[in-house]
Amino acid sequence: MASLQAIKYSRGKLLVLDQLRLPHEHHYDEVSTAEEAFECIRSMRVRGAPAIAIVAALAHAVELQNGGCTATTPEDTIAYIESRLDYLKESRPTAVDLSNAIALLKLAARATKLEGLAYPEAKEAILNSYIEAAENILAKDLENNTSIGSYGAAWLQQQFNATPDRPLSVLTHCNTGSLATSGHGTALGIIRSVHAQGLLKHAFCTETRPYNQGSRLTSFELVFEGIPATLITDSMAAALFAQQRARMNIGAVIVGADRVVRNGDTANKIGTYALAVLARHHGVKFVVAAPTTSIDLDTENGDGIKIEERKPEELTQISGAVVEPDGKVDTTRTARVAIADQRIAVWNPAFDVTPHTLIDAIVTERGTVVKGADGRFDFSQVLPERW
Ligand code: MRU
Question: Counting atoms of ligand 1 from 1, which one is nearest the CA of 255?
Answer: 10
C-alpha count within 13 angstroms, C-beta hemisphere, residue 350? 24
CA distances from 127 to 71, 110, 114, 122, 279 (A): 11, 10, 12, 9, 48
The pLDDT of residue 387: 61
Look up the ipTM and state it: 0.99
Dist. CA 66 → ligand 1 center (Å): 30
The mean per-residue pLDDT over the stretch 359-371 comes to 98
Percent of the chain past pLDDT 70, that is, above it, reads 99
Dist. CA 126 → ligand 1 center (Å): 32
Q: Per residue in 270-299, pLDDT tens?
A: 999 999 999 999 999 999 999 999 999 999
The pLDDT of residue 1: 58
Q: Give, using CA atoms, the residue closest to atom 15 of ligand 1.
A: 176
Residues with CB under 6 A from ligand 1: 47-50, 95, 174, 176, 180-181, 186, 213, 256-258, 268-269, 350
Dist. CA 170 → ligand 1 center (Å): 18
CB 63 within 8 A of CB 36: no
Dist. CA 133 → ligand 1 center (Å): 23
> What global pTM score does this model have?
0.96
3 pLDDT higher than 90 = no
Q: Per residue in 10-60, pLDDT tens?
A: 999 999 999 999 999 999 999 999 999 999 999 999 999 999 999 999 999
- DSSP H helical ranges for 30-120: 34-42, 49-65, 74-89, 97-110
Residue 224 Ramachandran class (φ > 0 left, ψ -120 to 50 alpha, else beta): alpha
The pLDDT of residue 167: 98
CB atoms within 10 A of CB 234: 17
Question: Counting atoms of ligand 1 from 1, which one is nearest the CA of 188?
Answer: 15
Q: Give, using CA atoms, the residue closest to atom 8 of ligand 1.
A: 269
Question: Counting atoms of ligand 1 from 1, which one is nearest the CA of 47?
Answer: 4
Active-site residue identified among 141, 258, 265, 360:
258
Q: Per residue in 204-257, pLDDT tens?
A: 999 999 999 999 999 999 999 999 999 999 999 999 999 999 999 999 999 999
Quote the CA–CA distance of 209 and 188 in Å, as a whole number. Answer: 18
Looking at every residue in the chain, the average pLDDT score rounds to: 96
386 pLDDT higher than 80 = no
Quote the CA–CA distance of 51 and 34 in Å, as a whole number. Answer: 15
The pLDDT of residue 13: 98
Residues 6+ apart with CB under 8 A from 165: none
**Predicted confidence band of residue 119 (pLDDT cuts 50, 70, 90):** confident
The pLDDT of residue 292: 97
Quote the CA–CA distance of 51 and 176 in Å, as a whole number. Answer: 10
Dist. CA 269 → ligand 1 center (Å): 6
**Predicted confidence band of residue 151 (pLDDT cuts 50, 70, 90):** very high
Dist. CA 160 → ligand 1 center (Å): 27
The mean per-residue pLDDT over the stretch 305-329 comes to 96
385 pLDDT higher than 90 = no
Q: Catalytic site residue 258?
A: yes
Q: Encode 203-225: b = buried (16+ Cβ within 10 Å), e = exposed.
A: bbbbbbbbbbbbbbbbbbbbeeb
- Mutation test of ligand 1: which of 176, 179, 186, 273 has the most ligand atoms closer than 8 Å to its C-beta? 176
The pLDDT of residue 162: 97
384 pLDDT higher than 90 = no
